[in-house]
Amino acid sequence: MIKREVRLRFAPSPTGYLHVGGLRTALFNYLFAKQNNGKIILRIEDTDQKRLVKDSIDKIIASLKWIGIDFDEGPHTKNQNKGPYAQSERLDLYRENVVSLIEKGYAYTCLYPDERILQISQDESLKKSAAEYDKKFKDNRPEDSISNMKKKNSVVRLAMPANENILVKDLIRGNLKFDSSLLDDPIIIKSDGYPTYHFANVVDDHHMKISHVIRGEEWLPSLPKHIHLYKCFNWEIPEFAHLPLLLNHDRTKLSKRQGDVAVEDYIKKGYFRESLVNFIALLGWHESNNREFYTMNDLIDAFSLKRVQSSGAIFDIKKLNWINQHYLRQKSSNEIIQLSKNHIPSDWSVNEKMVDLIKDKTQTIEELKEDLKIFFRTPENLKKKLEQNFPSSTISNIQASMIKNLEKYSHIDKEIFNQIMKKVAEESDCKGKSLWQPVRLMLTGQARGPELLGFMQAIGIQECINRLKDVK
């Protein structure tokens, strides 16, 4: 038996942003393809014309490119061997194949008068009973069904077999069995002439020679319909793997109501691509050694569908932040400055010393912006805050002594810093917390924060003097 070439596809709908669940599907397809010396294809499933969003395709492609997923074929690649790769450009192929199905008695056309269309749109119960009502067209002659396809408001349904067990092996869930008597006859061509997902994805997967279909668990109920279609055409059936759902902490399906779900949102917030790839890969998959950190090449070597769980995976933003912090710590401060340019105000002159002081405690670029504020915003309303904890005479003495001693120097190092603090302690008759906390508050506006000498070096002596003078 000739071994089938490994070919996978990621097929998003251009109805909005790239969902993190979609990214997980794209990543797992990519890893499996590359690990098996196969190819991955990007296909655009734009048959739902009413829900198309302008520029959605470009944004989805841009997000995938940013992540580092390179496609071997697709609408944006030089290789157009199995194209076109947008379903809206493949309507002739669908029509040719649906006619073939009708001629063989595996599909039939139903006519929808305007009145019925209106009733169904207004009554949910009629939508549910439509499939049963339409079975009256099932016995129409194939030539009549083909003729009726040309009429207004006609749809084509797939004739599901009666009382048959449809068997299929899922690479994640094992052997599955579906009772065909529990399934409606699904619409495969809509009244606008466009195919539904059920029909288009099977036809496209066959003609694009897809060997493995890795997709989300939400498509599992559709699997028997797709298997039946393959059998109707007598086509080779690809291997299927259905990934677990992504869940919120309360185990409900991941939704925007409980946090960001668009890949664009995480890019805008300054998450690193290696962090997002690493985190997404661990949503439902892990090695037996419970390793936490992977590069893309590491994942290509290690990934296995055998280690993908069938139960839902919790989308834990705290873990993403922890992983992002790991990668942030590995970067030089200069590299972090370059990566953060689009996230911090243009008038902030961030230097490496500032980043050195805060990067070990910072998890994201968004947090970095918050943590950097103390270097650029002069503390406000400090007098009241200081007087709530220290006598006003103590504050005045420390303030005056710090200014006087700092003005003697043009720079500050550890030796000078120790000399200054020793002198201020003598002149203000303060020591310990009574000395150090007021100084820290006057300079940073915070009771806790970066190491004080490093902070003073980062903003410079003159800025230290200016802040001390502003405490009124």
**Per-residue model confidence (pLDDT) at position 107:** 96
Domain ranges of the chain: 1-75+244-330, 332-377, 378-470
**What number of CA atoms fall less than 13 Å from residue 344's CA on the CB side?**
23
The owner of tokens 């009502």 is 133
Which residues have CB under 8 Å from 48's CB, separation 6+?
A: 13, 15, 194
Measured CA to CA, the distance from residue 392 to residue 378 in angstroms comes to: 20
Structure tokens at 447: 């009771």
Amino acid found at 148: N
CATH code of 378-470, in short, is 1.10.10.350
Among 190, 222, 229, CA closest to 206: 229
DSSP category for residue 165: E
Measured CA to CA, the distance from residue 257 to residue 268 in angstroms comes to: 19
Among 162, 165, 202, CA closest to 184: 162
Check for a shared fold between 1-75+244-330 and 378-470. no
What is the homologous superfamily of the domain 1-75+244-330 according to CATH? HUPs (3.40.50.620)
Which residues have CB under 8 Å from 415's CB, separation 6+?
A: none
**Per-residue model confidence (pLDDT) at position 1:** 45
Going residue by residue through the chain, which has 472 residues, state the pLDDT in tens, using 9 for 90 and above: 457 899 999 999 988 889 999 999 999 999 999 999 999 999 999 988 888 888 899 999 999 999 999 999 999 988 888 889 999 999 999 999 999 999 999 999 998 777 776 776 677 666 667 777 778 888 889 998 999 888 888 999 999 998 899 999 999 999 999 999 899 999 999 988 899 999 999 999 999 999 999 999 999 999 999 999 999 999 999 999 999 999 998 898 887 766 789 999 999 999 999 999 999 999 999 998 989 999 999 999 999 999 999 999 999 999 999 999 999 999 999 999 999 998 999 999 999 999 999 999 999 998 999 999 999 987 777 888 888 888 888 889 999 999 999 999 999 999 999 999 999 999 999 999 999 999 999 999 888 889 999 999 999 999 999 999 988 7
- Which listed residue (231, 256, 373, 431) is catalytic? 256
Are 108 and 145 in contact by the 8 Å Cβ rule? The answer is yes
Among 86, 360, 302, 45, CA closest to 196: 45
383 part of the active site:
no
**b/e sequence 341-360, b meaning 16+ C-beta within 10 Å:** eeebeeebebbebbbbbbbe
Q: Is the pTM of this model over 0.75?
A: yes
The Cβ of residue 76 has, within 10 Å, a number of other Cβ atoms equal to 15
Measured CA to CA, the distance from residue 99 to residue 134 in angstroms comes to: 18
Measured CA to CA, the distance from residue 295 to residue 301 in angstroms comes to: 10
**Per-residue model confidence (pLDDT) at position 178:** 96
**Per-residue model confidence (pLDDT) at position 126:** 65
Measured CA to CA, the distance from residue 369 to residue 364 in angstroms comes to: 9
